[in-house]
Amino acid sequence: MHTAFSWETVLDDVCFIVGPPVSLGLSAALFPQAGPLVAGLMLLAGTLWLAAQRGTEPPYGVAAQRSSLLSALGNRVVWTLTLVMIAMGTIDVASVAFARLLGEPAAASIVLSLYAIGSCVAGFLFGAAKLTRPIGRLLILGIAATALLTVPLLFVHSLAGLSVAMLISGMFFAPTVILSGQLVESTVPARMLTEALTWSTAGLGLGVAIGPAAAGPLIDAYGANAGFWIAVAAGAFLLVLVIAGRRAFHESATPAEEFVPVPVRCAD
């Protein structure tokens, strides 16, 4: 699972690296809506392709014990991971605002790509490594490093400095996401695994949505650095939250539940 989670995270980073220039190129060469249109079509095609993968579906059966629809949301690990993604979501809009402040808005895509490149390289190296420490302890260290590496963003005064800071900051993002998936997989009951992984993954999108929405008004009122301050403050809060609830990160894996096979009769 370590390799699988690592590979998935690396592919996500590759999309963040390749996506912006391809989208901008299509919009510039064809028409303004070309980039989002192609992205939407690719999303539709990927969703249909995933839905057609019958061979990867779990066996049909009935759980020995039923759970509520929102039971996975009661897991503290899932909530913490969602908050981590919300905290990280503020960096994107702050970087764009910073590049615009310097009169080079087009450079924002390069800066964000460097963050993804740092994360991608770290994901490759981390995926090839053999873990010898508990996942929970490594995740706490990853969150701590991710939070601390937002601090240099407060002291950048040029695009070159921002690029270096983003590259270094991104190096701990992929390992943190990889460990997050592994920890959810090891602490959530088997009957809730799909739901829990869905919520933790959705936390990334939630962070990208809520983070910029919260940082945007402050950036407009107080400048680009206000967004970085939000990221630093959120990272510090999450670090305290994780340390205070560190027992949740060291809970033993919950045994998988038994499934009762249900015969399926096909219509003639």
Confidence class of residue 259 from pLDDT cuts 50, 70 and 90?
very low
- Interior angle at CA 263, CA 262 and CA 268, nearest 5: 145
Asked whether 169 and 146 are in contact (CB, 8 A), the reply is yes
Q: What 3-state DSSP class applies to 77?
A: helix
Q: How confident is the model over 224-251, as a mean pLDDT? A: 74
Distance, in Å, from the CA atom of 99 to the CA atom of 92, rounded to the nearest integer, reads 11
* pTM listed for this prediction: 0.73
Q: How many CB atoms lie within 10 A of CB 61?
A: 11
Confidence class of residue 249 from pLDDT cuts 50, 70 and 90?
low
Distance, in Å, from the CA atom of 179 to the CA atom of 267, rounded to the nearest integer, reads 44
Which of 150, 135, 175, 140 lies closest to 87, judged by CA?
A: 150
Confidence class of residue 264 from pLDDT cuts 50, 70 and 90?
very low
More confident residue, 50 or 259: 50
Buried b (16+ CB within 10 A) or exposed e, 70-100: eebeebebbbbbbbbbbbbbbbbbbbbbbbe
Distance, in Å, from the CA atom of 250 to the CA atom of 240, rounded to the nearest integer, reads 16
More confident residue, 245 or 26: 26
Residue found by looking up tokens 């009957």 in the block: 191
Q: How confident is the model over 174-189, as a mean pLDDT? A: 77
More confident residue, 246 or 28: 28
Q: Indicate if the pLDDT at residue 183 is higher than 70.
A: yes
* Structure confidence by residue, pLDDT tens digits, 56-106: 666 665 555 555 444 555 556 666 666 667 767 777 788 888 888 888 877
Instruction: Concatenate the DSSP letters of all residues of 86-100 into one string.
Output: HHHTHHHHHHHHHHH
Distance, in Å, from the CA atom of 113 to the CA atom of 170, rounded to the nearest integer, reads 10
- Rg for the chain, CA atoms, rounded: 20
Q: Indicate if the pLDDT at residue 230 is higher than 90.
A: no
Backbone angles phi, psi at 179, to 5 degrees: -65, -35
